[in-house]
Structure 1
Amino acid sequence: MITYAILGGNEEAVGEVKGALQNYPDYLLLGDAISNNEAYEVILKNPPNLVFVDFDSYSSADIPLNFIAELHQYLPELPSFIGVSGKKGFAYEALKNGFVDYLLKPLAPVEVVKTLVKYRRNNNKSETRKICLKSYSDYHFLDLSEVIYMQADNNNTDFHLSSIYKVPGFKTLKYYEELLPENFVRIHNSYVINTEKVTRINFGKNKVYLHSNIKLPFSKSYKKNVEMVKSKLTADNIISPD
């Protein structure tokens, strides 16, 4: 679960950010704030992973960059900050002050996805590595370290935790692939594997072998991905082939 807060919390700003994230059930809004005092309460009480700063909610003199700098006094690790604005004028200030990204309004879905992917790629080590699979009012919180591979099932995705146990996800394989940590790699139109579960790769048979006696085919179009997995796993071994 990734938590976030919004600074510049007028109704319009909150609504736009919440709307952009409504299709991502593993993102949870902790609160919003317009003043620095409110922001301290929201961020220090339960520090979020991400903070969206709506620059349009402030006058140029009131943008809370000093407030963000002061958070170093209270938090051992700062959240990641993302700027949001209807104009490009604040982008330089935002990036100069360590913001991970800057989004222009209206928030385009593809740009939001890119930002979320960038955040996850840069924070794999610190995130909880869980994913929330939601179906109507049913929420399934799945530990990604237990996932061996994912398989496309029409417009849905099955998360396989063993050779006999799977958990359904109600989004496409591509949707999940874009959000998962870098150890999840696509090897076929139908399969994304957890490379931490790979036990063998046979290039002659175009097969990848995983824990629980699972073997999956990889396609020619994704052979480069499998080559990269092989190189990474070989480099990680204490003893590797010549």
Structure 2
Amino acid sequence: MNYSYIIIDDDQESVLKTKAIADSFSELTFVASAHNYVEGLNLILEHTPQLVFLEIDPVDKKSMLSLALINELHRYLKVIPKIIVTTRKKDLAFEAIEYDVTAYMLKPLSRIDFVKSILKLKKADGEEEKILAQSPPEPQEEKPVSFVHHETLSQQKPLILCIKSYGDYRYIDARDICYLQADNNSTDIHLNSGEMVTAFKTLKHFESALSYPFVRIHNSYIVNCNYISRIHTGNAVCYIKNTTTKLPFSKSYKINIDLIISEISNGNYLEI
């Protein structure tokens, strides 16, 4: 998912630094920047971005930048953009949490802060989609009971890939896929059993069809993150569990590697 964003900060140098990091993420699309409360409010109401980077402890107090901007947004908008606070002090973190901000990032900003914030956004959006999908239908939208039951079951079951070829239906549990490898206009699907299955679809097709834990790391590879045992950023390779397989990752997909590393560290994790 992509997020349009606005930067509201009284320090032009900070605006440029925030934009420089944000521009390295394909998920983020810059809209505009503002240097004070009034400009920021007007930009948000005009462009309705999905994301706002907001300074709440400005150098120039005349800019009037603060968390009060969020309250003002509630007067005009039904859907409030996600707010990421960017500031120099920790003092306002508790107050910011009470305003239900998405993230609180301390300056100088770092790339990993952005990685974590994007992961939080994607995770929150994914959970919201699940809730909407599982919500009961509106009274006026009557559906056959059998159809609703089928939807519920499909949400609970693991994803099954059907590789169809000339009347042959091959069913693969997505959890058994270690990685996918491009082979011209076809894709080789490598399973945890050591078996390989060829599908006559491009890797780009699978990239659009599969969501996390499947992540593209190279023009030729999509990896199931659950099968990664090691990531060597110096050699730009990922190791696959219980095999001698090493998958290269390219610079153009380095952000995806950062996301994988961050996501793994968000689990039951101990770094030594």
Give the TM-score taking structure 1 as reference length.
0.54
The answer to whether 1:19 aligns with 2:20 is yes
Q: Deviations over 1:166-216 (max 9, x none)?
A: 449xxxxxxx9xxx9x942149x95446xxxxxxxxxxxxxxxxxxxxxxx
Q: CA deviation at 1:47?
A: 0.7
Query: How far apart in 1 are the matches of 2:10 and 2:204?
Result: 37
| 2:213 matched residue in structure 1 | 185
> Is this contact kept in 2: 1:83–1:101, CA < 8 A?
yes
| 1:163 matched residue in structure 2 | 200
Q: 1:27 to 1:152 in 2, by over 3 A?
A: farther
Query: How far apart in 2 are the matches of 1:30 and 1:10?
Result: 18
Aligned letter for 1:184?
Y
1:100-139 matches, cutoff 5 A:
100-124=102-126, 125=128
Aligned letter for 2:201?
I
Q: CA deviation at 1:58?
A: 4.8
Query: How far apart in 1 are the matches of 2:50 and 2:200?
Result: 34
| 2:79 matched residue in structure 1 | 77
Query: How far apart in 1 are the matches of 2:68 and 2:204?
Result: 45
| 1:201 matched residue in structure 2 | none
Structure 1 unmatched ranges of 5 or more? 127-147, 169-175, 194-217, 222-242
Query: How far apart in 2 are the matches of 1:86 and 1:164?
Result: 49
Aligned letter for 1:103?
M
> Is this contact kept in 1: 2:8–2:40, CA < 8 A?
yes
Aligned letter for 1:2?
Y
Which of 68, 71, 75 is the equivalent residue of 2:70?
68
Query: How far apart in 2 are the matches of 1:118 and 1:7?
Result: 21
The answer to whether 1:54 aligns with 2:91 is no
Q: Deviations over 1:87-137 (max 9, x none)?
A: 2122122112111111111112122211111111112346xxxxxxxxxxx
Q: 1:185 to 1:41 in 2, by over 3 A?
A: same
Q: Aligned with 1:107: secondary structure?
A: coil
Q: CA deviation at 1:86?
A: 2.0
Q: 1:22 to 1:97 in 2, by over 3 A?
A: same
Q: Aligned with 2:92: secondary structure?
A: helix
> Is this contact kept in 2: 1:152–1:191, CA < 8 A?
yes
The answer to whether 1:3 aligns with 2:31 is no
Query: How far apart in 2 are the matches of 1:4 and 1:68?
Result: 15
Q: Aligned with 2:91: secondary structure?
A: helix
By relative contact order (CA 8 Å, sep 6+), the higher-ranking structure is 1
Aligned letter for 1:24?
F
| 1:140 matched residue in structure 2 | none
Q: Aligned with 1:120: secondary structure?
A: helix
Q: Aligned with 1:55: secondary structure?
A: coil
Q: CA deviation at 1:220?
A: 5.3
Give the TM-score taking structure 2 as reference length.
0.49
> Is this contact kept in 2: 1:30–1:42, CA < 8 A?
no
Q: Identity over the aligned pairs, expressed in percent?
A: 23
Query: How far apart in 1 are the matches of 2:212 and 2:203?
Result: 17
Aligned letter for 1:40?
L
Q: How many residues align?
A: 159
Which of 85, 88, 93 is the equivalent residue of 1:86?
88
Q: Aligned with 1:69: secondary structure?
A: helix
Query: How far apart in 2 are the matches of 1:9 and 1:2?
Result: 22
CA RMSD of aligned residues (A): 3.7
| 2:160 matched residue in structure 1 | none
Q: Aligned with 1:24: secondary structure?
A: coil
| 2:165 matched residue in structure 1 | none
Query: How far apart in 2 are the matches of 1:52 and 1:101?
Result: 9
